[in-house]
Amino acid sequence: MVNSNGTAVGSGQPGSWKVPTRGDATFQWDYDSHDEQVLRLYAQGKERQWNAAGELDWEHELDPDNPLGIPDEFVPIAGTRLWERLPETERVAVRRHTQAWAYSQTLHGEQFALVGLGRLCSAMDDVDAKLFAATQMMDEARHVEGFNRLVTDKIGIRYPLCGPLRAMFEDALHHPDPDFFGIAGMVLENLALVMLTTHRSRLTDPLGRAFTEYVARDEARHIAFGRIYLRRRFSGLSTPELRQREEFALDCCRVLHQDFAADAVWHTLGFGREVAEAARTSVPEILHRRKVFRHVVPSLQDIGLFGPRMREGLEAMGLLRFARRPRFTDPGGPGQEGSPAADAIAHAETAARRQDIEAVARLGATAGDTA
């Protein structure tokens, strides 16, 4: 449903959503032990603050036909017969709404990060980690501000939180142990980083390019911290505790692999169920999922959630091939999602993606630099 201002409305908008939370806050009297990796990230977090209101040109007018200037090859139904037949006026609506949907979900994800980090910061045992988490909270607040301006003020269409992400947020926040927020946050930050690093180079709109570049730098720092923090947390856990976290991480992977799709767009624009299905299995969507899991799967390895249950679950989804091997081998080879066209394009993009993957992996390993 779209209101008179062109803004999509639905249940939960406007309004609020209460998720009961439990857990302990931890005070730490050891101010003398320090973690140099985390302190370096904290220093970067302080130095690289930016002002979403002041450093971007919000007066810039977006193109009403393609607000962020996303090439049509990224439209979920690009390459289908429907897209070829669609009149330009309807293509414009699809471009506007698919961009609005993706950036709206990211906006909601940023609020999830802000809320969850508040809780995680309270629970953390280590003072240095609390300090970094405080800088990340400011980053996430800035991201909420920026995505909201982009979605609500500039594109003019805001979608509600989709069902699969809502369920993931609720499970993560409801769990008494904030590790579960940490896992969901890491998976979602990889999802966001893939979109941002793709868009910062491919958007033709200068505001969109600048904004995605700024946010991508912050997210790379967050992923680096998440890898250090979660790896340490999980290194001391028992096998049953690790198994529980692996199951939750697999649930998060299933959401992104099977459920996270812009069905609301096709419903809002009056397309049938078959279009929603075609969009889920289109070449652009298959490519996007592959890019996401090329980042998510190595992250799971890095934080130590890669036991037999995890490998079995990833294998069942056709995702185990994205695991990092002793020497980098081609993860874009013939896949299990069955699209020769997607395989060909994925192979061509592997070199560029490899650079991103390895840059983020180095961040996690050394915490000495950001993208």
Q: How far apart (Å, rounded) are the C-alpha atoms in residues 42 and 351?
A: 31
Choose one: 62-70, 121-129, 137-145, 173-181; the region binding Fe ion (CB under 5 A).
137-145
Residue 213 — φ and ψ, nearest 5°?
-65, -45
From 31-39, 88-96, 186-194, 258-266, span contacting Fe ion (CB under 5 A): 186-194
Residues 317-346 that bind Fe ion (CB under 5 A): none
The token pair that represents 205 in the structure block: 């709109």
Beta-carbon contacts of residue 65 (< 8 Å; ≥ 6 apart) = 92, 95, 96
User: Is 97 among the residues that bind Fe ion (CB under 5 A)?
Assistant: no
The yes or no reply on residue 295 touching Fe ion (CB under 5 A) is: no
**157 half-sphere exposure, CB direction, 13 A CA radius:** 24
78 vs 292 by CB, closer to Fe ion: 292
**Which range, of 158-166, 187-195, 228-236, 346-354, touches Fe ion by CB under 5 A?**
187-195
Peptide bond into 14 cis (omega under 30): yes
> Quick one: which of 95, 108, 142, 143 contacts Fe ion (CB under 5 A)?
143
The residue with tokens 């961040």 is: 363
Q: Write down the least CB distance from residue 139 to Fe ion, Å.
A: 6
Q: Report in angstroms how near the CB of residue 219 gets to Fe ion at its nearest.
A: 5
> Alpha-carbon torsion 4, 8, 9, 13, what sign?
negative
Q: Pick the binder of Fe ion from 149, 222, 245, 257 (CB under 5 A).
A: 222
- Interface mask toward Fe ion for 65-94; x: CB under 5 A: ------------------------------
Size of the site for Fe ion (CB under 5 A): 7
Stretch that binds Fe ion, among 221-229, 258-266, 334-342, 362-370 (CB under 5 A): 221-229
Cα gap 294→319, rounded to integer Å: 9
**How many CB atoms lie under 10 A from the CB of residue 211?**
27
**Least distance CB 106 / Fe ion (angstroms):** 8
Other beta carbons within 10 Å of 330? 12
Q: Which two tokens stand for residue 31?
A: 């101010």
Positions touching Fe ion (CB under 5 A) are 110, 113, 140, 143, 189, 219, 222
